[in-house]
Chains A and B, each alone.
Chain A
């Protein structure tokens, strides 16, 4: 059973199948791995989704009792889960600080947009200008502000990097057939405890029609950063959300790394879903306690060096060896820093807009 340990951080160890010597999958091979061709799709247990929902409702009974009556819902995203399970105090500190827009976050947004464009239209003419056009129309003012403030040299460096990611996508990813019903940035929202808790996420790519007797949906997450163990927990969370939402689990979940072309594909078993559920229960309990005003627990971890609460945190100082927080960009190749970037929420979970006029 592959359950991500609570608060665990680290780079995924490379197996022989993903060694550098192995070429990343591309074209038909990539699709074959995503579709699991040659294998029968798993039968859907019609009671599974209801059972998981009941388990969650039972597990969260009483957890929301201390929340303010009109305090809205506790939103549980993949970033919030990873953050709260790693260190509650760090999560609280980050939420009370201005959004930390980094080069990595901006690169991720640009690459996500290009991947979406490629999958939808099958065209990428000028990656830099296409990506800029996409983020400007999507209106993330922090990302746009960061891009506008860049020097010509640093913009040039970023443009080259983005073009490399885009080149890899174009070279390796066939445009999915429209008959597979591909959807990009699909929002998933699952209300629990009468809406006091809302699990939410945005899937980069999903394809396959709604399930009948057999599972039929594949979910793909796109990462422009390095491969990390936490990504598996994110995917399992999405598998759980999709199961609860649609009544059937996806048959495949995958993470695609645009920098290297690595593709991690996993079948969705009951163990995957149960592991994700236990992680949700653990994290949601903590998020609810924080929302009710409880003092956040401090847990030393690899992010302590960047934590804005470090000056007042003894365990963090012991771990970091200093009481002065590092700034974003001090060591952008650091593994822990890359996790910091990925737990930057900035409204993660997607916003549902109204449809006007």
Chain B
């Protein structure tokens, strides 16, 4: 199998122009519905056999985080997962995306103002928790509300920094219609089993006449197999939404390093990613078996 061709990006300043262009430029070979249907059948066949080996009663939800862990730190798949612990670093994306959505809609003038508004609204939603007519509070809001002022300030500062980096990375007024910032994750329940769900996530979804393009924001440096990392949200989106909605490309942005990677999404790219997903699920299944002292088959 040959890897999809790498697509370059102009390094001319300001870089936001080139990055925006990368999201607006359609790729010629959009994935067809038939390609996705065939891939879905093949993938489901491979995955069902694998997850049936999971220890009794266990299910696997493979999201981008676990997908990366299986590829980069397979030994960690053997560890018992502790309870989820929020932190400023962990919350920054969720808060930052809400803030950017406010900026895109013109409700807030700057990321900093938007983050403050999002945090205030989150606290309000928690306070209204008993009122059935109120909005369901975001997952971080209860924890954030419990923090002292200094802790809250760190959450706000981290979210402002993240949102500002992403906000300044694009020329937002060039998108028509306005892109979806954050939005819902894509979920795909593997047919033939109730024990595996794939969860894909994109930070920005750019809509146009053709298939959407996705922006995925990463931390630090791009992983060595960035094609799989970018292909994962595209694959889950294609599986969950159907072939005609498959993204045409995924642009990865790593603000801390200023790195950008572009993955044109064609049938070969999806197939390559599907192979990586099968390998990741196998790693997780082995890890769960080893964690329980069961033999790995």
Q: What's the Cα separation between A119 and B154 when bound, in Å?
A: 11
Task: State how many angstroms separate the Cβ of B204 from the closest Cβ of chain A.
Answer: 14
A181-B164, A209-B168, A357-B139 known; A247 vs B258 contact (CB < 8 Å)? yes
A138-B88, A247-B258, A355-B219 known; A123 vs B150 contact (CB < 8 Å)? no
Q: What's the Cα separation between A136 and B154 when bound, in Å?
A: 10
Cβ of A113 and Cβ of B168 under 8 Å apart? no
Enumerate chain B interface residues (CB-CB to A < 8 A): 11-16, 65, 68, 84, 87-90, 92-94, 109-113, 116, 139, 147-158, 160-161, 164-165, 168-169, 219-221, 224, 254, 256-259
A46 at the interface (CB under 8 A from B): yes
Determine which of A123, A136, A184, A188 lies in contact with B149 in the assembled complex, contact meaning CB atoms within 8 Å: A123
Cβ of B90 and Cβ of A355 under 8 Å apart? yes
Task: State how many angstroms separate the Cβ of B287 from the closest Cβ of chain A.
Answer: 18
Task: State how many angstroms separate the Cβ of A214 from the closest Cβ of chain B.
Answer: 9
Closest chain B residue, CB of each to CB of A351: B89
Closest chain A residue, CB of each to CB of B151: A137
Cβ of A116 and Cβ of B157 under 8 Å apart? yes
Known contacts A178-B112, A353-B89, A353-B219; 5 additional CB pairs below 8 A are: A116-B154, A117-B154, A120-B157, A183-B164, A185-B157
Cβ of A179 and Cβ of B110 under 8 Å apart? yes
Cβ of B161 and Cβ of A195 under 8 Å apart? no
Cβ of B93 and Cβ of A355 under 8 Å apart? yes
Say what secondary structure dominates the interface of chain B.
helix
A50 at the interface (CB under 8 A from B): yes
Cβ of A213 and Cβ of B13 under 8 Å apart? yes
Determine which of B88, B116, B258 lies in contact with A246 in the assembled complex, contact meaning CB atoms within 8 Å: B258
Cβ of A44 and Cβ of B13 under 8 Å apart? yes
Q: What's the Cα separation between A113 and B109 when bound, in Å?
A: 26
Cβ of A191 and Cβ of B257 under 8 Å apart? yes
Determine which of A50, A134, A135, A184 lies in contact with B11 in the assembled complex, contact meaning CB atoms within 8 Å: A50
Determine which of A137, A178, A179, A244 lies in contact with B150 in the assembled complex, contact meaning CB atoms within 8 Å: A137
Closest chain A residue, CB of each to CB of B218: A352
CB neighbours (8 Å) of A113 from chain B are 150, 153-154
Selecting from A80-88, A125-133, A142-150, A219-227, the interface stretch reads: A125-133
A120-B112, A245-B257, A356-B90 known; A210 vs B65 contact (CB < 8 Å)? no
A267 at the interface (CB under 8 A from B): no
Q: What's the Cα separation between A315 and B88 when bound, in Å?
A: 45
10 shortest A-B CB distances, which residue pairs? A133-B150, A353-B89, A133-B148, A137-B151, A130-B150, A117-B153, A352-B220, A355-B93, A178-B112, A352-B219
Q: Can you list 17 A-B pairs with a CB-CB distance of less than 8 A?
A: A117-B153, A119-B157, A123-B149, A130-B149, A132-B150, A139-B87, A178-B109, A186-B161, A188-B256, A189-B257, A191-B257, A209-B168, A210-B168, A351-B89, A355-B90, A355-B94, A356-B65
Task: State how many angstroms separate the Cβ of A108 from the closest Cβ of chain B.
Answer: 16
Closest chain B residue, CB of each to CB of A179: B110
CB neighbours (8 Å) of A210 from chain B are 13-16, 168-169
Q: What's the Cα separation between A129 and B150 when bound, in Å?
A: 7
Closest chain B residue, CB of each to CB of A248: B13
Cβ of A185 and Cβ of B158 under 8 Å apart? yes
CB neighbours (8 Å) of A233 from chain B are none
Interface centre among A212, A248, A356 (most CB of B within 10 A): A356
A116-B154, A356-B84 known; A183 vs B14 contact (CB < 8 Å)? no
Cβ of A246 and Cβ of B15 under 8 Å apart? yes
A97 at the interface (CB under 8 A from B): no
Cβ of A129 and Cβ of B220 under 8 Å apart? no
Cβ of B14 and Cβ of A211 under 8 Å apart? yes
Cβ of B15 and Cβ of A247 under 8 Å apart? yes
Q: What's the Cα separation between A157 and B150 when bound, in Å?
A: 20
Cβ of B224 and Cβ of A195 under 8 Å apart? yes
CB neighbours (8 Å) of B88 from chain A are 137-138
Cβ of A354 and Cβ of B65 under 8 Å apart? yes
Closest chain A residue, CB of each to CB of B147: A137
Q: What's the Cα separation between A137 and B158 when bound, in Å?
A: 12
A190 at the interface (CB under 8 A from B): yes
Determine which of B109, B116, B168 lies in contact with A179 in the assembled complex, contact meaning CB atoms within 8 Å: B109
CB neighbours (8 Å) of B87 from chain A are 137-139, 353
Determine which of A44, A181, A195 lies in contact with B168 in the assembled complex, contact meaning CB atoms within 8 Å: A181
Give A188-214 as 1s and 0s: 1 = Cβ < 8 Å from B's Cβ atoms: 111100010010000000000111110
A:85-139 near B, CB below 8 Å: 113-114, 116-117, 119-121, 123, 125-126, 129-139
Task: State how many angstroms separate the Cβ of A80 from the closest Cβ of chain B.
Answer: 17
Give A162-196 as 1s and 0s: 1 = Cβ < 8 Å from B's Cβ atoms: 00000000000000001101111111111100010
Q: What's the Cα separation between A136 and B152 when bound, in Å?
A: 11
Closest chain A residue, CB of each to CB of B108: A178
Q: What's the Cα separation between A236 and B87 when bound, in Å?
A: 31
Cβ of A183 and Cβ of B160 under 8 Å apart? yes
Q: What's the Cα separation between A175 and B149 when bound, in Å?
A: 17
Task: State how many angstroms separate the Cβ of B93 from the closest Cβ of chain A.
Answer: 4
